[in-house]
């Protein structure tokens, strides 16, 4: 693991993926992250069965829990009870960061809002992940990435062709995982400010704000010129035929991003096996390719349809201009760049082995070593004993239900 | 045997290790894989009873609510945990129904 946050203690009162993913990144960077879960229900994400492909029994890996919770410890506390809240406050005393996804009304009811936590630890970095932001008429409403990011955040409308009956949906936790990175970045800056000034800031990231950022070229252009002005070209009339997708003989795709097309045209022609096109007057420069784009794209479609995906990948390997195979997630696990850079990290526990994806920030060209996600409340007693709580008090908490 | 919270016990016949996190007042017979659990400093012996070989999983809690007994598995193994000869159930999270 990275050691950038060694010694930093993070207390996470959060559920699902968005905010827990931030805790996972902080753990990757060396922080000691304690996840607080309800003693009976746990993180509701533990009950997700939508994927339907998680086998039971030994060797089962609940990947939708593992990916955003790896490297943490879990404590089972009912913080709606007096004893549970007192124990949470004891954990706050020793924490540098408080991380939550709970709604404002719930934070007030539970007495874990900014003012309650700062009353115990004035310089704590208090970080919230929300659907729509901490201010405004919908600040109190819940959010999921499928709604606040994908729907309200404009992503579905921006990505879905008009030919579809319904907008396309995102992949599991698609906005949440990016949002967790954003929260982790904010916390890192907040810890730096606290180090410099002694003041820990309140950090907010919303799924709506994240969507705005991701779509900012469209959003800014709309503000300037009205409507939804970013052009969606008919691919058969693309102004630069050297930018875009081409279909291979076996119905796969390769994509090109040859933005300075005059520079790359000769080597492109050579790599696709048609050097005679270099000097072809119709296509010899960017202006010619723009004016004759329909003809050129039709020709390139024919050329790319003549070889398989694997053949094209081999043929294009030495081209310096930027292109990419259109890979499937299942193929990325064997991508040599993924292997070389350690973008997948092997978790080994009790003879069970599986890969989790690294967070995209890498330090010192060294991949983080990832640990497994905790079981529900796995470290409850260990954490309480570290706090100086004795077995008698633990036993009384177990009796009352305040402690798992 | 008489057990108290914080006691670490290991299986005599597999890799399983547990810590007692909730203990009943009465004596209980704790076993794993068909053999009594032993202290961490005692020598393993005997063989796993295949009928008690469903295994234990690290991080899981094995409990008998009526007795007030709870064991936290700190290392998984091939043997099944028992109390007074009865297989202990996993105390898992019970998420609210239909979370998706």
Output the pLDDT for position B27: 94
B4, B60, B94 ranked by CB distance to A40: nearest: B94
Chain A neighbors of B5, CB-CB under 8 A: 381, 391, 394-395
Q: Looking at A121-260, list the stretches that DSSP marks H as alpha helix, in order from N- to C-terminal side.
A: 155-159, 174-197, 207-214, 216-225
B6, B75, B95 ranked by CB distance to A42: nearest: B95
Categorize the per-residue pLDDT at A352 as very low, low, confident or very high, splitting at 50, 70 and 90. Answer: confident
List Cβ<8 Å contacts ≥24 apart for A263-267.
A263/A321, A264/A319, A264/A320, A264/A321, A265/A289, A267/A319, A267/A320, A267/A321
DSSP A151: T
Examine the pLDDT at A58 and tell me if it is beyond 90. no
pLDDT tens readout for residues A10-27: 999 999 999 999 999 999
pLDDT tens readout for residues A102-161: 999 999 999 999 999 999 999 999 999 999 999 999 999 999 999 999 999 999 999 988
Categorize the per-residue pLDDT at A56 as very low, low, confident or very high, splitting at 50, 70 and 90. Answer: low
Polymer length in residues for chain B:
100
Chain B neighbors of A378, CB-CB under 8 A: 59, 72
> Between chains, do B70 and A398 touch, taking CB under 8 Å as contact?
yes
Q: Tally the domains of chain B.
A: 1
Complete DSSP assignment for A229-263:
-S----GGG-SSTTEEEEE-TTS-EEEEE-SSHHH
| Token code pair at residue A242 | 């050297």
A58, A376, A380 ranked by CB distance to B57: nearest: A58
Q: How far is CA A73 from CA A12, A24, A37, A233, B90, in A?
A: 10, 11, 10, 50, 19
Q: Which residue of B has its CA nearest to A376?
A: B93
> Between chains, do A395 and B61 touch, taking CB under 8 Å as contact?
no
Chain A neighbors of B21, CB-CB under 8 A: 380-381, 394, 398
> Between chains, do B92 and A376 touch, taking CB under 8 Å as contact?
yes
pLDDT tens readout for residues A290-314: 999 999 999 999 999 999 999 999 9
| Mean per-residue pLDDT over chain A, rounded | 94
DSSP A2: -
B19 part of contact set with chain A, CB < 8 Å: yes
> Between chains, do A41 and B60 touch, taking CB under 8 Å as contact?
no
CB B46 within 8 A of CB B56: no
- Do domains A9-215+342-400 and A235-330 share one topology? The answer is no
3-state helix, strand, coil in chain A (%, to 5): 40, 15, 45
SS3 A159: helix
A47, A377, A378 ranked by CB distance to B95: nearest: A47
Which has the closest alpha carbon to B32: B53, B8, B60? Answer: B53
The two beta strands, A9-13 and A32-37, are parallel
Distance from CA of A399 to the nearest CA of B (A): 9
Largest distance between two CA atoms of chain B: 48
| Token code pair at residue A339 | 């292997």
Output the pLDDT for position B98: 52
Sheet holding B8-10, edge to edge: B38-39, B8-10, B17-22, B69-75, B61-64, B89-90
CB A68 within 8 A of CB A173: yes
For chain A, give every domain's residue range: 9-215+342-400, 235-330
| Token code pair at residue A232 | 């969606």
d(CA B93, CA A330): 31
The topology (CATH level 3) of A235-330 is formyl-coa transferase, domain 3 (3.30.1540)
Categorize the per-residue pLDDT at B93 as very low, low, confident or very high, splitting at 50, 70 and 90. Answer: confident
pLDDT tens readout for residues A219-271: 999 999 888 766 566 888 889 999 999 999 999 999 999 999 999 999 999 99
Instruction: Give the domain extent around B63.
Output: 8-16+31-90
User: May I ask the CATH architecture of the domain A9-215+342-400?
Assistant: 3-Layer(aba) Sandwich (3.40)
Output the pLDDT for position A318: 97
CB A323 within 8 A of CB A272: no
d(CA B32, CA B1): 14
**What distance lies between CA A237 and its chain's CA centroid?**
34
Distance from CA of B7 to the nearest CA of A (A): 11
Kindly report the CA angle at B27 between B26 and B32, in degrees rounded to 5? Answer: 130
CB A319 within 8 A of CB A267: yes
CB B42 within 8 A of CB B13: no
d(CA A396, CA B14): 33
Polymer length in residues for chain A:
404
Largest distance between two CA atoms of chain A: 88
For CA atoms A290, A294, A299, A305, give the dihedral sign. positive
Chain A neighbors of B60, CB-CB under 8 A: 375
- The mean pLDDT value for A93-97 works out to 98
> Between chains, do A37 and B94 touch, taking CB under 8 Å as contact?
no
Domain-embedded: residue B81: yes
Backbone phi, psi, residue A291, to 5°: -65, -30
Statement: the pTM of the whole predicted model exceeds 0.90: yes
Categorize the per-residue pLDDT at A91 as very low, low, confident or very high, splitting at 50, 70 and 90. Answer: very high
Chain B neighbors of A398, CB-CB under 8 A: 21-22, 70
d(CA A265, CA A282): 13
Examine the pLDDT at B100 and tell me if it is beyond 60. no
């Amino acid at each position: 693991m990275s050691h950038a946050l060694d010694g930093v203690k993070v207390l996470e009162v959060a559920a699902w993926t968005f905010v827990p993913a931030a805790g996972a990144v902080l753990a990757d960077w060396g922080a000691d992250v304690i996840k607080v879960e309800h003693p009976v229900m746990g993180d509701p994400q533990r009950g997700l069965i939508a994927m339907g492909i998680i086998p039971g029994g030994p060797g089962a890996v609940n990947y939708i829990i593992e990916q955003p919770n790896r490297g943490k410890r879990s404590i089972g506390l009912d913080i709606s009870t007096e004893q549970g809240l007192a124990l949470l406050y004891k954990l706050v005393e020793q924490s540098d960061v408080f991380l939550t996804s709970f709604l404002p009304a719930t934070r007030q009811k539970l007495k874990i809002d900014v003012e309650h936590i700062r009353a115990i630890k004035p310089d704590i970095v208090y970080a919230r992940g929300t659907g729509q932001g901490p201010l405004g008429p919908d600040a109190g409403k819940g959010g999921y990435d499928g709604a606040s990011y994908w729907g309200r955040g404009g992503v579905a409308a921006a990505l879905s062709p008009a030919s579809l009956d319904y907008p396309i949906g995102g992949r599991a936790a698609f906005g949440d995982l990016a949002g967790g990175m954003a929260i982790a970045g904010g916390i890192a800056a907040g810890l730096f400010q606290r180090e410099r000034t002694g003041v820990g800031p309140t950090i907010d990231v919303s799924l709506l704000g994240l969507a705005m950022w991701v779509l900012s070229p469209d959003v800014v252009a709309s503000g300037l010129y009205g409507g939804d002005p970013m052009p969606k070209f008919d691919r058969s009339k693309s102004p630069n035929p050297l930018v875009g997708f081409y279909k291979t003989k076996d119905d796969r795709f390769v994509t090109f991003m040859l933005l300075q097309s005059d520079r790359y045209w000769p080597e492109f022609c050579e790599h696709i096996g048609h050097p005679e096109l270099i000097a072809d007057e119709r296509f010899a420069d960017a202006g010619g390719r723009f004016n004759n784009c329909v003809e050129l794209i039709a020709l390139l479609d024919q050329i790319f349809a003549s070889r398989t995906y694997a053949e094209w990948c081999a043929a294009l390997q030495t081209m310096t201009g930027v292109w990419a195979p259109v890979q499937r997630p299942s193929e990325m696990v064997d991508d040599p760049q993924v292997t070389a850079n350690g973008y997948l990290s092997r978790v080994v526990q009790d003879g069970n082995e599986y890969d989790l994806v690294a967070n995209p920030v890498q330090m010192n060209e060294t991949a983080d070593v990832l640990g497994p996600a905790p079981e529900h409340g796995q470290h409850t007693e260990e954490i309480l004993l570290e706090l100086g709580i004795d077995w008698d008090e633990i036993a009384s908490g177990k009796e009352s239900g305040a402690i798992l | 045997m008489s057990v108290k919270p914080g006691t670490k016990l290991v299986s005599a016949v597999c890799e399983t290790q547990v810590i007692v996190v909730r203990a009943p007042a009465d004596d209980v017979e704790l076993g794993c894989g068909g053999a009594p659990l032993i202290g961490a400093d005692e020598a393993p012996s005997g063989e796993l009873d295949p009928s008690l070989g469903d295994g234990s999983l690290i991080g899981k809690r094995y409990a008998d609510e009526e007795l007030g007994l709870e064991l936290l598995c700190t290392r998984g193994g091939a043997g099944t945990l028992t109390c007074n000869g009865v297989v202990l159930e996993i105390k898992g999270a019970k998420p609210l129904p239909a979370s998706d």
